[in-house]
Structure 1
């Protein structure tokens, strides 16, 4: 298990799956859950390489907190030259209607997970579905 500073420890599987997303493009997204039984952050869902952003958003529970990473691929133009780029987004999903205790634990554990997932480009904190719109991702990636 990975180190723990404050919050909940991170399962080794989280870092391993993130490396597969980052280096091998094996996944488009990963959803992480704080498993209260084993008291650590674990992988809840993996989105295959062809998964969509909409599938990621649909996998986030309406009333429970989660973390997710999303590998956003886009075409960047530099003058007349276009190139494929990829940016990894960290999403902290903490809906307004989630339990207060859960929001506090997720908030205190977020930085530990981010430290274990080396290579994140942007972070999005969302409390309602409008903050998860694909346009938010596109705007940040520019």
Structure 2
């Protein structure tokens, strides 16, 4: 946009120097068009600058995560202490643990996933789920995935703060390689996620 602005300014200056203004004090038609284009360009540039600043402010939300978050992930990875856990932002200040469940070998992987899913509401949540199943070829797959649940019907302010704080909590999950996002219950589908986990296992 800076290049366009410079070019238009030069054209305006040349036009004024060569043709001057009309006697009645109004700009001639060609110069008026150039100025209009210049103003539109400046307005567009200003809007882009404002949007950039807004994005930067929201991405620097200042949300911290509880030290326990890293410990929970490491225990899930090494000791298999939890099947799944959800995290929430408390008072718009800190990410803390919310709900969780231990592994239950009496139930299949999908059943435990659906139990976790049933506990979610329209409020956004960060989720860690420990997928454990046999592939079609008989390979045993055990992978932890990060799921960002952000319901389309959630409050806009909550959506913004959870989205802008997502990278903060992910930093606590060293070595995590699987990430999903769901905005509707239909998208929060076990079979879809399982297929992706199997591809990357």
Shorter-chain TM range is 0.7 to 0.9
- Higher mean C-alpha deviation, range 115-124 or range 95-104: 115-124
1:88 deviates by 1.2
Asked if residue 48 in structure 1 is aligned to residue 111 in structure 2, the reply is no
Q: Does 1:6 align with 2:60?
A: yes
| Structure 1 residue 6, shift from structure 2 partner | 2.9
Select which of 166, 173, 191 maps to 1:117: 173
Equivalent residue, structure 1, for 2:134: 75
CA deviations on 1:48-68 (whole Å, 9 max, x unpaired) are 11171011111211x211110
CA distance in 1, matches of 2:171, 2:119: 24
Q: Which structure ranks higher in relative contact order (CA pairs < 8 Å, sequence separation ≥ 6)? A: 1
Alpha-carbon distance in structure 1 between the residues aligned to 2:84 and 2:177: 14
Question: Which segments of 5 or more consecutive residues in structure 1 lack a partner in the other structure?
Answer: none
Q: Which has the larger radius of gyration?
A: 2
Unaligned runs of 5+ in 2: 1-58
Query: TM-score with structure 2 length normalisation?
Result: 0.62
TM-score w.r.t. the length of structure 1 is 0.86
Higher strand share goes to which structure?
A: 1
Q: Could you say which residue in structure 1 is the equivalent of 2:117?
A: 57
Which of these residues, 76, 79, 89, is aligned with residue 34 of structure 1? 89
